[in-house]
Structure 1
Amino acid sequence: MWFIIFLSFFVSFLHHTSTSPVSPNLLPINLLDGFQNYTAISEFRLLNRRKLGACLDPNPYVKIHVNANSKLGNDQMIKVTVSGVLFPSENDWVGIISPSHANVDACPQNFILYEQTGDFSELPLLCHYPVKGQYVSNDAGYLGCNKTECKIRDQKGKCQVKTCSASIMFHMINIRTDIQFVFFRGGFQTPCVLAKSELHKFANPKSPLYGHLSSVDSTGTSMRLTWVSGDKKPQKVQWNGKSRSSNVTTFSQKDMCNSVLPSPAKDFGWHDPGYIHSAVMTGLKPSKHFSYIYGSKMVGWSARTKFKTPPREGSNELKFLAFGDMGKAPRDASVEHYIQPGSVVVTQAMADEISSGNADSIFHIGDISYATGFLVEWDFFLHLISPLASKVSYMTAIGNHERDYVNSGSVYFTPDSGGECGVPYESYFQMPTSAKDKPWYSIEQGSVHFVVMSTEHDWSKNSEQYKWMSKDMASVDRSRTPWLIFTGHRPMYTSCGGVDPTFVLTVEPLLIKNKVDLVLFGHVHNYERTCAVYGNECKAMPKKRGNGVDTYDNNNYTAPVHAIIGMAGFRLDTFPPQAGSWSTSRISKFGYARVHTTKTQLNFEVCSPNFK
């Protein structure tokens, strides 16, 4: 059995958006503590906690116009024009707000509930969720007032009052609830309202959207399809002349976690998720192409999608892509609450791989959407991965940004999930686990047995998860699946620090005992690979082939090779000057892993889009 590692590069483009930190002294002092309950605080993330009012601007000319039908589609670019501006400012911006509750009219009835959280903001942001925002100066001619209109002329026809206008583009997907465009002055720190558009509704808020696949077992003959709709009535998936009704679930604010201080998911970050539909397609054949549609006559049908089943367990060959920490980023010049700048180009690169037939399945090992309590961003993420997850099995592991919250039962007491506590994650990504909030499982594809653990749930020696890992790995038939790959989110080895030594001391012996070949982790946002390592020591070093490829002969097994692959989207981590003694390769670039296995050889390849 040969284990081969090499690198591959291809050219793509840069999509980079960033947010600036907020100065704490600009926050209302009585609300400051509440912001410690979620991560990555930025100016835009705090809009729901700003005192909001009408601008002290006597200008009667200001207007905002939305160049879109009153009924919005599922995916479109929208041109927004502001006009009648007397003095353009670099702090002028347009935001899209959407109801925090599916029933917009119910919002004022909850006024007292918001006051109890210390939020005394005025409408519209009292009850509405800021989805995204964009500075008007993205129109290059705005600050210079290149587009003008005369509002008042004297008797001789000479212009006495001249105003400025500008246009910016927004990308918007169907999030089911009404949206409104608001023209603000004062930036993200001291916003006030200059003008509001009319409400815009989606043409079909019940439309079936964002279908994604996952494996339910190791046979390759059944696949689960999960999608989102605003309709709670069961719908259908149709494939290969067959049909199956969906099971329908959802979750509410009551399901979100909270503490003494309000979490975003429980309070100002909430957005109605609609309904999650799921159905299992059966009677398939492994490693074959099929197609499906989903929906109903009442809400409409999706486009027909061609997909491929993974190879069955024990078969010879498997090709899969793996990564962690991807998230999402806007397709326009907007800022959102939490942006992962590499996610769009990495997703596009993987979509090209799938279109070329280079992947049978995908493994996303934690930190999935980075919604972190701002629930509408799950829709953004599902939309982003549709070109991948609708065509091959998209398997996931839970990470800290899906599960962790104070006093919620997670191993680590950080507020990294923003109060989600794994509920949205397990609703959208239904893996073959034994029960809710036990998100560990194993699955076999081709010549590989995958063990997917949760680093965020109890892994101590007496825990249910530890006993399961021990039993599962001991039961692997290496004549059928000779490769054993172990995955989870938080790493055991990284030169960037932050490793939990108790986790390593507890779980690492299981890896060596069961002769795990390859360990894949995320959490750290770069790529790093170790030697064959155990107990912080190299047990074997790779041999270099003539082409520079690192090679291990696992017929003479010594220890697993660990790889951190958390470089799929989140802002990259830089390496310290001194790397670990066991570190053999380090790359701080966006990308993903491409793995090709047969029963005798495993090729591990790092693919990194080359940004210019």
Structure 2
Amino acid sequence: MLSAFQATAILAFASSVLAAPAQVCNDATYPTQIRLAYSNDRAMAVSWNTKIKMTKPTVAWGPDTHMRDSADSDVSTTYQSSTTWNNHVVIEGLNPDTKYYYSPECGNVTYTFTTARTEGRGTPYQFAMIGDMGTFGPDGLSTTVGKGAANPLAPGDLTTIQSLSARIDDFDLVWHVGDIAYADAWLKEENGGYAAPLNTSDFGMEYEKILNDFYVEIQPISAVKPYMVAVGNHEANCDNGANFTICPQGQLNFTGYRAHWNMPFYKSGGLENFWYSWNHGMVHYITFNTETDFLNAPDQPGGEGVEDAGPFAPFGAQLAWLKADLAAVDRKRTPWVIAAGHRPWYVSTTEYIECQVAFEPLLLEYGVDLVLHGHKHFYERHSAIDNGTAQDLNNPTAPWYIVNGAAGHYDGLDTPTLPLVPTSRDIIVAYGWSLFTVHNCTHLTTEFIASGNNTILDTATLYKDRTCALN
């Protein structure tokens, strides 16, 4: 049986000439927090928030600024304690790798997006990866931090959002691998004297303020580049997993995460925004869920048992989906397979062995090339690894692992455990993000970009000896 979120998300989306009833436009219907997501190479998901429910969310679009076409849906949804409504529309009938103009209704700004490259398209491109990024400024990371936090920004440093914005033309998409906004840190910030309580009788207000501020802050990126996401532990509940009794119902069980995003699970047979895949040129991308829905997951008593969330599918469903998805990949057309899940199992601090047991066998069996993680607030590039045994990057048979949870949030950066694990090849404790270049069928390069000044602090290239059928 479909969940309410699934049923809402897979409603039939209509594309037509502007024919929907006109929405009364005012401050309450003005679109904010605009964000894109790939649907497939001929469709793009557009999401935005309003202060009230939209009768029929509509997006004007076209190949030029005239935007003579429109797409609409019936999806305008909210949840208990939310101060906004989430509107989701999928624009279909597009051409691959093509620039379009669009504008959500009741807005006065025109944006652009470029659709995904067709599967098998062999032209090189770049994508950005971030992990563990919250707000910046008054309710997040800034040049000051509260009690118990560390590593403030230096005066004059760019934030990760500013760094990404400065290089917006260099990458096709952003992949945020879990821990989005850190709204659940509101009580910790208040207790540390960093944020003043907004209303001690309504614990939902500070959470919603941080959440809304984050989506506004990323809009310069997410309104023009697909912003793909994976779920992290800080999406689970409103209070860092410590005291669920203070959480309003709408701030439990990944509710905000489920409502805000519209990932292409319905195109790939996945589940909501938890696990899904998509193709873009030479790469098959997979997002998996390290928080729920596998044996000893953090939501289960045998795991950390601290999230009080999930499961969202029958036992075994996620791994069955992952196996089927990997088995169906045409490696001649999409030679690169890149997977991302929040918690790492190769890292120089606490390793999440339950995740390794669940996911690593399938990643090895089907020859996944690269695995990306966040969760730990530093950057660590590993070798390719087969069950703990390191391989170099010259045609390895095992996945290459990179951990990058250094995008920045209120609590600052982490300190790796010494000595470093044997598979570690470089580690950097600095705010930053990863830029990947897919050169061709055989070569893929990573660069770690220091957010503060956009300098490159680490780079490495993976080589695979293979022949592909690209165009």
Fold-level similarity (TM above 0.5): yes
- Report the CA distance shift for 1:318/1:459 in structure 2 as closer, same or farther (over 3 A): farther
SS in 1 for 2:265: coil
Q: 1:483 aligned to 2:289?
A: no
Identity %: 30
Partner of 1:275: 85
TM-superposed deviation, 1:457: 1.3
Instruction: Tell me which amino acid in the other structure corresponds to 1:235.
Output: P
Partner of 2:418: 577
Q: Is the 8 Å Cα contact of residues 181 and 214 (structure 2) preserved in structure 1? A: yes
Q: 1:517 aligned to 2:369?
A: yes
- Report the CA distance shift for 1:337/1:421 in structure 2 as closer, same or farther (over 3 A): farther
CA shift digits 1:244-301 (9 cap, x unpaired): 2243333332xxxxxxxxxxxxxxxx4x332111111123222222111112xxxx32
Instruction: Tell me which amino acid in the other structure corresponds to 1:242.
Output: D
Residue number among 274, 284, 289 corresponding to 1:449 in the alignment: 284
TM-superposed deviation, 1:344: 6.5
- 1:333-344 to structure 2, matched below 5 A, reads none
Partner of 1:180: none
Partner of 1:294: 104
- Report the CA distance shift for 1:560/1:436 in structure 2 as closer, same or farther (over 3 A): closer
- 1:99-248 to structure 2, matched below 5 A, reads 204-217=27-40, 220-232=41-53, 233-240=55-62, 241-248=68-75
Instruction: Tell me which amino acid in the other structure corresponds to 1:325.
Output: D
Q: Is the 8 Å Cα contact of residues 57 and 76 (structure 2) preserved in structure 1? A: no
- 1:203-602 to structure 2, matched below 5 A, reads 204-217=27-40, 220-232=41-53, 233-240=55-62, 241-253=68-80, 270=81, 272-295=82-105, 300-316=106-122, 317-330=124-137, 345-354=159-168, 357-372=169-184, 374-403=207-236, 419-434=251-266, 439-460=274-295, 463-497=316-350, 499-538=351-390, 540-541=391-392, 552-554=393-395, 557-570=396-409, 571-597=412-438, 598-602=440-444
Q: Is the 8 Å Cα contact of residues 329 and 344 (structure 1) preserved in structure 2? A: no
CA shift digits 1:30-74 (9 cap, x unpaired): xxxxxxxxxxxxxxxxxxxxxxxxxxxxxxxxxxxxxxxxxxxxx
SS in 1 for 2:133: coil
- Report the CA distance shift for 1:582/1:336 in structure 2 as closer, same or farther (over 3 A): closer
Partner of 1:132: none
TM-score by length of 1: 0.56
- The structure whose residues are more often strand, as a share, is 1
TM-superposed deviation, 1:508: 1.0
What CA distance in whole angstroms lies between the structure 2 residues aligned with 1:424 and 1:511?
Answer: 29
TM-superposed deviation, 1:359: 0.8
What CA distance in whole angstroms lies between the structure 2 residues aligned with 1:330 and 1:234?
Answer: 35
Q: Is the 8 Å Cα contact of residues 130 and 175 (structure 2) preserved in structure 1? A: yes
What CA distance in whole angstroms lies between the structure 2 residues aligned with 1:467 and 1:367?
Answer: 25
What CA distance in whole angstroms lies between the structure 2 residues aligned with 1:504 and 1:331?
Answer: 38
TM-superposed deviation, 1:579: 0.4
What CA distance in whole angstroms lies between the structure 1 residues aligned with 2:98 and 2:28?
Answer: 34
- Report the CA distance shift for 1:391/1:405 in structure 2 as closer, same or farther (over 3 A): closer
Q: Can you give the 5+ residue segments of structure 2 that lack an aligned partner in the other structure?
A: 1-25, 63-67, 185-203, 297-314, 455-471
TM-superposed deviation, 1:386: 0.6
Partner of 1:604: 446
SS in 1 for 2:418: coil
Q: Is the 8 Å Cα contact of residues 57 and 88 (structure 2) preserved in structure 1? A: no
Instruction: Tell me which amino acid in the other structure corresponds to 2:335.
Output: P
What CA distance in whole angstroms lies between the structure 2 residues aligned with 1:568 and 1:594?
Answer: 12
RMSD: 2.9
SS in 2 for 1:205: helix
TM-superposed deviation, 1:445: 0.7
- Report the CA distance shift for 1:378/1:438 in structure 2 as closer, same or farther (over 3 A): closer
TM-superposed deviation, 1:532: 1.3
Q: Is the 8 Å Cα contact of residues 183 and 238 (structure 2) preserved in structure 1? A: no
Runs of 4+ off more than 4 Å: 331-344, 412-418, 434-438
Asked which structure has the greater CA Rg, the reply is 1
- Report the CA distance shift for 1:450/1:345 in structure 2 as closer, same or farther (over 3 A): same
Instruction: Tell me which amino acid in the other structure corresponds to 2:420.
Output: A
Instruction: Tell me which amino acid in the other structure corresponds to 1:470.
Output: K
CA shift digits 1:356-413 (9 cap, x unpaired): x21111110100111126122221011111111100111100110112589xxxxx97
Partner of 1:138: none
Between stretches 584-593 and 225-234, larger displacement belongs to 225-234
Number of equivalenced pairs: 366
TM-superposed deviation, 1:307: 2.1
What CA distance in whole angstroms lies between the structure 2 residues aligned with 1:397 and 1:562?
Answer: 17
What CA distance in whole angstroms lies between the structure 1 residues aligned with 2:353 and 2:39?
Answer: 34
What CA distance in whole angstroms lies between the structure 2 residues aligned with 1:228 and 1:405?
Answer: 20
Q: Is the 8 Å Cα contact of residues 404 and 456 (structure 1) preserved in structure 2? A: no
Instruction: Tell me which amino acid in the other structure corresponds to 2:403.
Output: I
SS in 2 for 1:380: helix
SS in 1 for 2:449: strand
TM-superposed deviation, 1:553: 2.7
What CA distance in whole angstroms lies between the structure 1 residues aligned with 2:447 and 2:116?
Answer: 20
What CA distance in whole angstroms lies between the structure 1 residues aligned with 2:402 and 2:243?
Answer: 26
What CA distance in whole angstroms lies between the structure 1 residues aligned with 2:145 and 2:77?
Answer: 24
